Structure 1
Amino acid sequence: MSLVKMYIIDMLGYMIVALPFYIIGRMIYLKTKKKQVKPFHELTLALFVLYIFGLASQTLIPRWDIGIMGDTGKFYFDVYLFNNAANVNLIPFHTISQYFFTTNANVDNWGGVTLVNIAGNMFMFSPIGIFVPILWGRFQSLPKILLLGLGVTCFIEFVQLFIGRSTDIDDVILNSIGVVIGYGVYALLKIPYYKVAFR
């Protein structure tokens, strides 16, 4: 759970920083375009945009570190574009099977690492399957939302080749499953909505 908490806190930091910039930008856009403000749509869009910032913080933004050296008092800001631990896996289910059927003596909580990587890779992409069909009607079918989710995760994995992060076909598989799970939640939520709206 400490790993999950660490990732959530890290994502929230980026989302909080992005919030005022989004609000200001959105207000300028609505005023300039003279768009009608729909509270539910605006709230949903804001949540989705903040989620995108949180997702990018864990997938597209290179790892970095900032601080002051304790011995010299010198300020430092380092961006890590190269990582010796990063790897590329193009064999489907290879990494997934390693998590389930092997152990790592160098990792104390291997079960927790497995949970974070398997469940985290799925549920981190579930909001795409929920928010996108709500915000944009043309993505209300499963094939379209799955294709979109597949495109997003493939783009992320491609970019990770150049920013010191690992690229893994199993991430694409798990991310896509997460999008489908999210769409399932959207579909379940839509049923009672239509029953109330059109009874």
Structure 2
Amino acid sequence: MLYSYLQVGKLAFLYSIRVSIIIFIMFTSIKFLVKRKLEFKPINIVCEFAWVLTVIVILNITGIMGPMRGDFGTTSIFNGNVQLRFKLFEEGLSTVSLLNMTLFIPFGFFSPIVFKKLGDKWSYGILIGLVFSVIIEFIQTFIGRFVQLDDVLMNTIGTFIGYEIWFWLSKLIKSQKK
């Protein structure tokens, strides 16, 4: 079972690379047009691309875009076919729950690098994960996928773990520079 999930993740990653390159080029072009200067800091460029790639992989794996995309429509809502689960860990702490958490760790790590203001408070690290996860679960109501409170919780925890890794690494780097 874990192997099949990893295979799906691998395919989503490979598909996402091409899309991420295109989106990253558009993102960088817009940033250049707004700022009217191009800052060439290799580590920032790599981190920005990694953030875009992470978001695209998440959207692919959750079925919102890419080859695993569901059919978007409102018929599932009006027919009462929405599959909502609000009980926490109804099936226990499953492999899927842990993979959801792991999927969002890079998102939490790269977000404060890309969006500098997120680094000000740890609550922003939780908030960005919560908002992104709720948006994903909301969209999944329209594509016939399960909407689970477990997913929101595990995605948010994963984002926070990634944010904390970034926070402690940035503190370590700053202390070594002094």
Normalising to structure 1: TM-score of the pair?
0.73
Alpha-carbon distance, 1:56 to partner = 0.6
Q: 1:145 aligns with which of 114, 125, 128?
A: 125
- CA distance change for structure 1 residues 186 and 169 in 2, over 3 Å: closer, same or farther? same
- Counterpart among 133, 138, 154 of residue 112 in structure 2: 133
**Among the aligned pairs, what percent are the same residue?**
23
User: Is 2:85–2:148's contact at 8 Å kept on the other side of the alignment?
Assistant: yes
Choose which of 46, 51, 59 in structure 2 pairs with 1:43.
46
What is the CA–CA distance in structure 2 between the aligned matches of 1:37 and 1:51, rounded to whole Å?
A: 21
Q: What corresponds to 1:22 in structure 2?
A: 23
Structure 2 CA distance for aligned equivalents of residues 157 and 31 of structure 1? 33
- Between the aligned partners of 1:186 and 1:64, the Cα distance in structure 2 is 31
Paired letter, 1:176: T
Q: Confirm or deny that 1:189 pairs with 2:174.
A: no
Among candidates 173, 189, 199, match of residue 153 of structure 2: 173
Q: How far 1:27 sits from its partner (Å)?
A: 5.5
Unmatched tracts of structure 2, length 5 or more: none
- Tell me the CA shift for residue 63 of structure 1: 7.8
Q: Going by fraction, where is helix more abundant, 1 or 2?
A: 2
Question: Which structure has more strand as a fraction of its residues?
Answer: 1
What SS does structure 2 have at the residue aligned with 1:97?
A: coil
5 Å-filtered alignment, 1:2-21, equals 2-21=3-22
Q: Quick one: structure 1 residues 54 and 64, their matched pair in 2 at CA, closer, same or farther if it must change by over 3 Å?
A: closer
Aligned counterparts of 1:187 and 1:27: Cα–Cα separation in 2: 25
Instruction: Tell me the distance in 2 between the aligned counterparts of 1:153 and 1:79.
Output: 17
Structure showing greater Rg? 1
Paired AA for residue 194 in structure 1: K
For 2:46, the aligned partner's letter is: L
Q: Deviations over 1:27-49 (max 9, x none)?
A: 64465433222211111101110
